[in-house]
Homo-oligomer: A and B are copies of this chain.
């Protein structure tokens, strides 16, 4: 029984099929990109007939859009709704960077990132969705922390927040996505330590 009638959107059989399709679509789109993905392949990966996809989503663009929204929102809740950033700066920043780098190393996340960049010209709304939800919020949280710690003597918390997360994102971009790992290896650990040092050690002066 289903609570008399008001079927919840998130466990009705319809929503289950929709989710099943999205799961298949995630596999294919994130591994082969938008152009490299055929609807037949999505259907096969989702274990669903092609017609069913078209009864749940308007077309390929609609499916892709829904997919990115789905993954982005999911990530947001899981990864940013975690801690509220308190603690001794050196230790906290180190932990934060480590967790951040580790989570973003997940292939599915890297693939989402690559596809978002690849299709940012064709789907600017999706790129903006990502900017608004993930990047902007992350920056806000981190800059709030910097503001709450005047002993760090950070004059521009937003800019500093960008530098912090941007260094880590571009690290993954260079090392993983552009295969820099095989050209000039650089340990993530080293970047994190240097980054924390740049931010924390300035408070030694004065």
Which A residues have a C-beta under 8 Å from some C-beta of B? Answer: 33-36, 114, 116-122, 124, 127-128, 130-132, 135-136, 139, 153-156, 158-160, 162-163, 165-167, 169-171, 173-174, 177-180, 182-184, 186, 190-191, 193-195, 197-199, 201-202, 204-206
Contact = CB atoms under 8 A, between A and B. Distances in A.
Q: Is the interface of A mostly helix, strand, loop or mixed?
A: helix
A193 B162 CA distance: 12
Given A117-B117, A118-B33, A162-B174, A202 B198 contact: yes
Contacts of A174: 131, 135, 162, 166
A100 B174 CA distance: 17
Given A131-B184, A184-B131, A205-B205, A191 B162 contact: yes
Contact of A177 (B127, B169, B202): B127
Nearest to A136: B184
A116 B177 CA distance: 10
22 contacts: A33-B121, A35-B36, A117-B173, A117-B177, A120-B177, A128-B178, A128-B182, A128-B183, A131-B180, A132-B183, A135-B178, A136-B183, A155-B193, A156-B190, A156-B194, A158-B190, A159-B191, A162-B186, A163-B163, A166-B166, A169-B173, A202-B205
A194 B135 contact: no
Contacts of A34: 35
A123 B166 CA distance: 25
B120 A160 contact: no
A120 B167 contact: no
A116 to B, nearest CB: 7
Contacts of A206: 204
B158 A163 contact: no
A199 B117 CA distance: 30
